[in-house]
Amino acid sequence: MSLLQAEGRLVNWIKSRSPNAFVPSYIGHELVFEEARKADTRRQTGTAKSPIDGQLIALKDNFCTLSEPTTCASKILEGFRSPYAATVVQKLKAAGAIIPGKTNLDEFGMGSHSTHSIFGHVESPLRKGFSVGGSSGGSAAAVENDQCLAALGTDTGGSVRLPAAWTGIAGFKPSYGMISRWGVVAYANSLDTVGVIARQVETIKLVYGIINGFDSRDPTSLPEATRLRISAQLQRRGRLQSLRIGVPVEYNTKELQPPIKYSWLKTLERLKRKGHSLHRISLPATRSALSAYYVVAPAEASSNLAKYDGVRYGMMSYSSSDPSSGEVLYAKTRGRNLGNEVQKRILLGSYSLSAEAVNNYFIRAQKVRRLVQRDFNKAFALSHPLIDEPDHPIAGNGVDVIVTPTTTNDPPLLQDVLGEEAQGDSAAEYKNDVFTVPASLAGLPSLSVPVQEIAGQELKTGMQVIGQYGDDDLVLRLGKDIEAAN
């Protein structure tokens, strides 16, 4: 990218406020321009640090940075500055990437419309007045609005893929543990994954190549020995020319809107013409995946967010003018400084972990999660590299990748979303994740690629490519094929 292109994006970043993609920034514009000029000089002299040297890469505001506050769009963390930068931020800066600012999100990553934020809701730059999706809606809006080349988000149950689908760009959730989460504020530890959003799959591949890798500071990061084992397994399989593509019958639901179903069928037809074969598969546990997710994720969130009490972390709110009055301090602090959606999920999670409910809710949800993972393992030809059990099918009957819609519906009007939230109705919001949650529960790589809904029209939706654990490169490769066909 030339200096002129970089400066064009910087101008967009400075001037464009309509999508509300970025949170208030403390980074000086001149400092960012100066970094772009230095990167341009390095490119001209052949000393560029990496392919993304001088590129603008935005960060969701739950990545810890030294230069900016990290608020997670929550009042309780207003003004909080981390004493360290996240591993992925360090890697990006070492590669010469320029961080222009931090993007808006649902508070602590809890939401599907990027409306639960102290900075106000994010509006889709593609469809004015419509939801951008969430929780990484600010990152998607910034990319679609050409305010940066790419942006990092976090994907717990679809928070990168859903906004990518609704803004007509690409969003990638890698295999769980591939990218370090050290310095990323946790929502649900066993589900949170750092994801990448960009206009093109090739850009995602470049950024992913920079931030992928083991980190000893993150206990969920895949160690080098495991990565080598995965690599050896993929080398034994060799490069696949014609792919066996799985089409799960459970994704053909009555809620699937006709234009999106049409796009799904047309995408499959194009892939077939490219020489790939289509195979009907069944993922029966998919029907229970969403319910399991909304037990597991809030349960982990209730534990993770316990530290935001105004003492260890967060803004303190005294229960009265006298701090020694004896009233409950934590309750007032959390009640006043955490949003309604976050409080709702904390209560839900705390209940599902209670002695009276843990067996009926949390333990059962974990069993459903295991069934979801088994369904995927039975479908894929490649065995799961971390599980030593014969879940995979008879040789020759498994598929290499699975292709589904990313979402059942087009984005709703923001006024409808805000109206449902005002009435306390979260059911419709939770259902948006029905197609993205299964891959998250299984920890599998998943990519949302934009495709046209109807030929000749500008409206786009997302097609989701899901691969076996560790087969991230194949997912990105097929994503490029879908992208090229559209």
Q: Which residues are catalytic?
A: 60, 135, 159
482 within 8 A of 271, measured Cβ to Cβ: yes
Give the containing element (helix H, strand E) for 424.
none
Please report how many Cα atoms fall inside a 13 Å half-sphere around the Cα of residue 443, on the Cβ side.
Answer: 23
DSSP string, 247-276: EEGGG--TTS-HHHHHHHHHHHHHHHHTT-
169 within 8 A of 450, measured Cβ to Cβ: yes
54 within 8 A of 40, measured Cβ to Cβ: yes
Please report how many Cα atoms fall inside a 13 Å half-sphere around the Cα of residue 76, on the Cβ side.
Answer: 26
Coil, strand or helix at 151:
strand
What's the one-letter identity of residue 484? A
- 425 vs 466: CA distance, rounded Å: 31
Q: Is the peptide bond before 135 cis (omega within 30 degrees of 0)?
A: yes
Quote the tokens at residue 8: 């064009």
Nearest Cα neighbor of 63 from 32, 84, 79, 36 is 84
- 348 vs 22: CA distance, rounded Å: 30
* Strand pairing category for 57-60 and 102-103: parallel
- CB-based burial of residue 401 (10 Å sphere; 0-12 exposed, 13-18 middle, 19+ buried)? buried
| Terminal Cα-to-Cα distance of the chain (whole angstroms) | 24
Give the containing element (helix H, strand E) for 460.
strand 460-467
- 370 vs 375: CA distance, rounded Å: 9
Coil, strand or helix at 361:
helix
Helices 3-15 and 29-44 cross at an angle (nearest 10°) of 170
